[in-house]
Amino acid sequence: MASIGTIAVPHDVTPYLRLVALDGTLSHIGHLGTITVQATDLLTGRKKLSSAGSGGRPATAAMLEFCAQHDITADIELLPSARVNEALDRLERNEVRYRFVLDMSDLPQNP
């Protein structure tokens, strides 16, 4: 069983490794920066930590297609783009549980 990490800023991976199943892998996509991992967090449960860059547009498209085929989704909070300032304020106060997605359909369309 594999888990995919997509957090795009440096963070402690320890709590996420503890969620990985026996013989599982935590695969992080994108640049994480410098991290420290305790060997016991990998040894307990025979876990693996892997990483990969984004791979560009073709790899991203293939990954999204794979996710669609296997019903892999992300937890998000969807806001209309008119509420972008609210989203930025909440990000600054660290009041976002998952990821914000701005719905751009409320913007005027250019012909």
pLDDT by residue for the chain (111 residues), tens only, comes to: 677 777 777 788 888 888 899 999 988 877 777 888 889 989 989 999 888 766 677 877 888 899 899 998 888 899 999 999 999 999 889 888 778 889 999 888 776
Token pair 């976002």 is at which residue? 96
Give the separation between CA 37 and CA 50, rounded to whole angstroms. 12
pLDDT at position 85 is 93
pTM over 0.75: no
pLDDT at position 54 is 63
φ, ψ for residue 51 (rounded to 5)? Answer: -145, 160
pLDDT at position 111 is 64
Domain boundaries, the chain: 1-72, 74-111
Token pair 């073709």 is at which residue? 58
Residue 100 CB partners (closer than 8 Å, separation 6+): 76, 77, 79, 87, 90, 91
* Alpha carbon distances (Å) from 25 to 70, 77, 100: 18, 27, 26
Range 1-72 classified under CATH 3.40.50.720: yes
